[in-house]
Amino acid sequence: MSTDATPDPYADPLVFGQRLQLLRTRRGITQDQLGGLVGRSGSWVRALEAGRLKTPKLPIVLRLAEVLRVRDLSDLTGDQSMQVNLFTGPGHPRFAAVREALNSLQLGTGQDVPPPAHLSARLARAWTARHSAPKHRDVIGALLPDLIRDAQASVRVAETIADRKAAQARLAEVYFLAQFFCAYQPDAPLVWRVAERGMVAAQESEDPHAIGMAAWLTIQAHRESTHLDAADAVTAEALRYLEPLLPDAGADVRAITGALTVEAGLTAARRRDTGTAWRYWDTARRLAEGLPDGYFHPVTSFSRAVIGAHAVTVAVELQAGSESTRQAAQAEAEAIPSRPRRARHRIEQARAYHLDAQPDVALATLDQAHEAAPETVQYNGHARRIILEEAEAKSPDRRRRASELAVKIGLLTA
């Protein structure tokens, strides 16, 4: 093996600073960017990587792991006793069957294909179940394998161009549902394959709503992988395509445009571009206010009820502690009809309170999130980081509460 080969932080006995540098460069993040994302300076990161500073305490290590999206803490620390996954869940029991359906190749035409109306009704029921079931991953995981196979077959047997485009739109939506399920599961490449298939099917359908949804999911995947330039590029292209259609568009196209505008603001917030982030949010708010009363987008959850929740996330991503708690206090979670979206909003509120040095309120809010949708908390890296950090708190009561929550979501054993 060449001595010039790049060391592998997962195999070679590197010190913390070396691991940090390799993981940072693999993510394409500069020292100044990393420092800003964890509330420190670029010079602090440089000193840490050069070994001039000792390994930080657990809260900072968890923040670094969160930004770098490491597989588990031991990848960053080198301490094999800290093998705790943050952004890759332990794997849902139904994940293997869903992955098999996504990976299988079906070329035959002998199978019975349900009528399009039947497939559409099943897909609508699946989205309803996702929003209403406390253990939504379990419900969706049971429905997805047959939905994937039947939607793929429906495209193959379509006889007219119009039928084929409609079948592609349904298939794209099935892939969107699968992408929600596969997020935070132990197969990151599968998430990208599903995202790409969803985008291809949406483009084949020539349906603006489907194309917008595909872009929305792709943007999130890029941003969570810290590919902010790619996220911006997809957002800009999707909005250029959709905005001219808005004067004559229905509620779904206007809602997906609003959801994409929110994503533009969140990416700007991740860059710490305060003015741009809030400007996009304000544009999205106006789009939400123009939607019919009671409207709730079935995929993105974009609605009047959710726009306040987005404001919390913008403030948190900007690392604005007092503003994030102000927004958290204003945004009413109970108005959100979707259980997983309500739980996700509670997690964002918990991030706000934790950022503002209110850890007890953060833990209480995570308990509320767990009550709304346990699986959302179980597979959310931000929630897991807060719980792990507070499990090491100086306060015995806070340690106990955090540890109890960690046991509930499977981070610790009882």
* pLDDT for position 85: 54
**Within the chain, which residues score under 50 in pLDDT?**
1-7, 9-11, 82-83
Report the C-alpha gap between 111 and 322 in whole angstroms: 58
Its pTM stands at: 0.79
Report the C-alpha gap between 205 and 158 in whole angstroms: 12
> Tokens representing 203?
């483009």
Report the C-alpha gap between 277 and 272 in whole angstroms: 8
Instruction: Give the position of tokens 């509620």.
Output: 251
> Tokens representing 370?
């767990």
**What is the DSSP code string of 187-229?**
-HHHHHHHHHHHHHHHHHHT-HHHHHHHHHHHHHHHHHTT-HH
- Last residue of some domain: 82, 101, 131? 82
Question: Do 29 and 105 sit in the same domain of this protein?
Answer: no
* pLDDT for position 391: 86
48 in a domain, yes or no? yes
Residue 212: count of CB within 10 angstroms of its CB:
26
Report the C-alpha gap between 353 and 361 in whole angstroms: 6
Residue 61: CATH number of its domain: 1.10.260.40
Question: Do 73 and 112 sit in the same domain of this protein?
Answer: no
Report the C-alpha gap between 230 and 226 in whole angstroms: 9
Using CA atoms, how far residue 310 sits from 143, 208, 368, in Å, is: 29, 23, 18
Question: Do 132 and 37 sit in the same domain of this protein?
Answer: no
237 in a domain, yes or no? no
- Last residue of some domain: 164, 191, 206? 206
Question: Do 155 and 48 sit in the same domain of this protein?
Answer: no
292 in a domain, yes or no? no
Question: Which residue range forms the structural domain that includes residue 37?
Answer: 16-82
Question: Do 171 and 97 sit in the same domain of this protein?
Answer: yes
* pLDDT for position 335: 86
44 in a domain, yes or no? yes
347 in a domain, yes or no? yes
Question: Do 146 and 69 sit in the same domain of this protein?
Answer: no
- Last residue of some domain: 206, 239, 257? 206
Q: For residue 35, give the nearest of 49, 22, 19 by alpha carbon.
A: 49
Report the C-alpha gap between 172 and 199 in whole angstroms: 7
* pLDDT for position 142: 95
136 in a domain, yes or no? yes
Question: Do 45 and 140 sit in the same domain of this protein?
Answer: no
Question: Do 140 and 192 sit in the same domain of this protein?
Answer: yes
Read off the DSSP letter of residue 292.
P
Using CA atoms, how far residue 179 sits from 19, 119, 174, in Å, is: 30, 18, 9
371 in a domain, yes or no? yes
Asked if 284 and 4 count as a contact pair (C-beta separation under 8 A), the reply is no
**Looking at the 3D structure of the chain, how many domains does it have?**
3
Question: Do 123 and 156 sit in the same domain of this protein?
Answer: yes
Question: Do 98 and 65 sit in the same domain of this protein?
Answer: no
Report the C-alpha gap between 29 and 358 in whole angstroms: 29
* pLDDT for position 243: 96
Report the C-alpha gap between 183 and 180 in whole angstroms: 6
| Helix, strand, coil % in the chain, rounded to nearest 5 | 70, 0, 30
150 in a domain, yes or no? yes
H-only helix segments in 297-372:
304-317, 321-330, 339-355, 359-372
Question: Do 100 and 184 sit in the same domain of this protein?
Answer: yes
* pLDDT for position 134: 82
* pLDDT for position 265: 97
Question: Do 341 and 411 sit in the same domain of this protein?
Answer: yes
3-state SS, residue 104? coil
Q: For residue 385, give the nearest of 31, 84, 44 by alpha carbon.
A: 84
* pLDDT for position 379: 83
3-state SS, residue 93? coil
Q: What is the CA radius of gyration of the chain?
A: 22
Residue 160: count of CB within 10 angstroms of its CB:
8
Asked if 372 and 342 count as a contact pair (C-beta separation under 8 A), the reply is yes
